[in-house]
Amino acid sequence: MRGIHVVGGGGHAKVVVGTLQAAGYSVRAAFDDDPRKQGSRLLGVPVEGATREIEKLASARTVLAVGDNASRKRLAERFRTVDWVTVVHPEAFVHPSVRLGPGTVVFAGAVVQPDTVVGAHCIVNTGATVDHDCVLGDYVHVAPGANLAGEVRLDDGVLLGIGGTAAPGAAVGAWTTVGAGSTVIGELSAGVVAVGTPARPVRRASGD
């Protein structure tokens, strides 16, 4: 099996590396633009250099291990020649009818139920649940312990914060952040930061 390359050298990358290893992949190297991380190791995997090194690895099997949604989008658009790997932790449950986009990672303890569609470079984080018939756009992050009921729609770049919830049929517009522990009931517009129960916009988001 050809080795996997990881873009990112922080805490989120450590969990991605652990997920890859648990799923039986050989992780060859990680890359990060922070000089303080270069030369370090993530669960035994060397952080070999800056992300520009990926450009030299045509068709390399790669995972973006960066938690920030906008940063993942920029990196995905920058590295167009790599082979984006979709990874599911063996202790997650993903129903066979689910469609996962390229580069998406499903962490330990997560549950994704029937007929859900998940876009590219999404994160379904530790212990998160996504129920039936949900639709997640590209670059979505469902944070640890967050829960989506059935038929929820999260458009591109949405962050549903840790412990957040979305009621049945709720919808969140693109690049909106839903704060930790907040509950989405109904619809939230695009490009806002929303908090509370029910979640209400408090300011504009910084954008993608």
User: Which of 45-49, 86-90, 160-164 has the weakest average pLDDT?
Assistant: 45-49
Q: What is the mean pLDDT of the chain?
A: 95
Which numeric CATH code is attached to 87-204? 2.160.10.10
Q: Is 162 a known ligand-binding residue?
A: yes
**Interval 39-79: pLDDT, tens:** 999 999 999 999 988 888 777 899 999 999 999 999 999 99
Tokens linked to 113? 């139920």
Say how far apart CA 171 and CA 184 lie, in whole Å: 8
Spell out the domain ranges in the chain. 4-84, 87-204
Contact 155, 174 (CB under 8 A): yes
pLDDT at 1 over 50: no
pTM: 0.95
Pairing of strands 200-204, 192-195: antiparallel
Say how far apart CA 164 and CA 184 lie, in whole Å: 8
Q: Is 89 a known ligand-binding residue?
A: no
**132 given a catalytic annotation:** yes
Of 189, 126, 133, 151, the residue nearest 142 (C-alpha): 126
Query: Which pLDDT belongs to residue 154?
Result: 98
Which numeric CATH code is attached to 4-84? 3.40.50.20
The active-site residue, picked from 5, 12, 121, 132, is 132
